[in-house]
Amino acid sequence: MTPARIVTLTMNPALDITTTVEQIHPTSKIRCGDARYDPGGGGINVARVAHVLGASVSAVFPVGGATGGRIARLVEDAGVPYRNTEISEPTRENFTVNERRSGEQYRFVLPGPHVTLREQSRCLDELRLAAAKAEYVVASGSLPPDVAPDFYQRVADLCRELGALLILDASGAALTSITSGVFLLKPSLRELRECVGHELHDEAEQLAAAHELIDRGVTQAVVVSLGSQGAFLATAEHSQHFPAIPVRSVVSSVGAGDAMVAAITVGLSWCWPLSEAVRFGVAAGTAMLMTPGTEVPARADVDRFLGMAAQPTDFESVCD
């Protein structure tokens, strides 16, 4: 098997279950529609989208119990090569309910299994094998309970040793514990606030926060997702805003950020300029909004939205 150019790591995968109801209300039974089952967790979602886009990608993740076995089969059915580590506790499930009457979406996310130190080490061993000749490693998603917040720093150190570029999409303590070694960091605006430890009241403060992370040596580039306002990219040399692509309605917002990360990474693996890769990411994230659950978008839909994506606009430098 040819080594993958992109390797993803998902430390807290999930079986994503999506269904619909007429209306959510307390106490009495709520009759659900048919359920959709998808393999989930940040890195797995990234790998599935990257595969559909035509990239050379493989996934690394722990699995436990019947749920973990089902996730592995679904990843295999999606055509994504993978390496998995067996753990003693069962892999979690996540539950998404779409309410027809209001159009609202409700997401119920479980914390995940307890992963022992030995199991964590085996995950890193599998990542080392999978990423030995990779160009990019994408670490994405939450960490399971009892996994130390500095786990992603260990991943960053491993990537530095292997010569692979790390793209990180994390939150909470797993994000704020990173001190160095990231090539591209993809926080939301809320997560960017967590990184710098204070409120960001306007665009100038948001840009300054992103450049603070670059100046501290945490990362070489920051892509901040802004929801309906699009996204912005910050590097040591420049900053750019990428407008959102307008859509008439959203089917599901689950996995849109993962699709964005996937397309950015794929673009970079094709030697695209970073700015163009981010435009590709905005297009993929938009296409993901049009799919149910965490179903990945078709390549044709991503390309169609890429054709609709406006060129980015440059910000004035905030580095001085």
* Whether this model's pTM surpasses 0.75: yes
CB 148 within 8 A of CB 119: no
Tell me, yes or no, whether 32 lies in a domain: no
- What confidence tens digit (pLDDT) does each residue in 28-51 have? 899 999 999 999 999 999 999 999
Read off the CATH number of the domain in which 229 is found. 3.40.1190.20
18 in a structural domain: no
Residue 266 lies in a domain: yes
Question: What range does the domain containing 272 cover?
Answer: 6-13+40-90+113-314
Q: Give the tens place of pLDDT for each residue, 87-139.
A: 999 999 999 999 999 989 899 999 999 999 999 999 999 999 999 999 999 99
Active-site residue, selected from the candidate residues 125, 258, 303, 314? 258
Q: Is 155 within 8 Å of 130 (Cβ atoms)?
A: no
Residue 105 lies in a domain: no
Residue 106, in any domain of the structure: no
Q: Which residues contact 117 (CB under 8 A, 6 or more apart)?
A: none
Concerning whether 202 is annotated as a catalytic residue, the answer is: no
Is 178 inside any structural domain?
yes
**pLDDT reported for residue 248:** 81
In a domain, 320, yes or no: no
Q: Which residues contact 29 (CB under 8 A, 6 or more apart)?
A: none
Mean pLDDT value across the chain: 93
Task: Give me the torsion for CA of 188, 255, 10, 212, rounded to 10°.
Answer: -10
Secondary structure of residue 63 in the 3-state scheme? strand
Q: Is residue 284 part of a domain?
A: yes
Question: Considering its fold, how many domains does the chain have in total?
Answer: 1
What are all long-range contacts of 269-277, with beta carbons under 8 Å and residues at least 24 apart? Answer: 269/5, 269/6, 269/55, 269/56, 269/135, 269/136, 270/55, 274/221, 274/233, 274/235, 275/233, 275/240, 275/312
Check: CB of residue 233 under 8 Å from CB of residue 239.
yes
CB 200 within 8 A of CB 192: yes
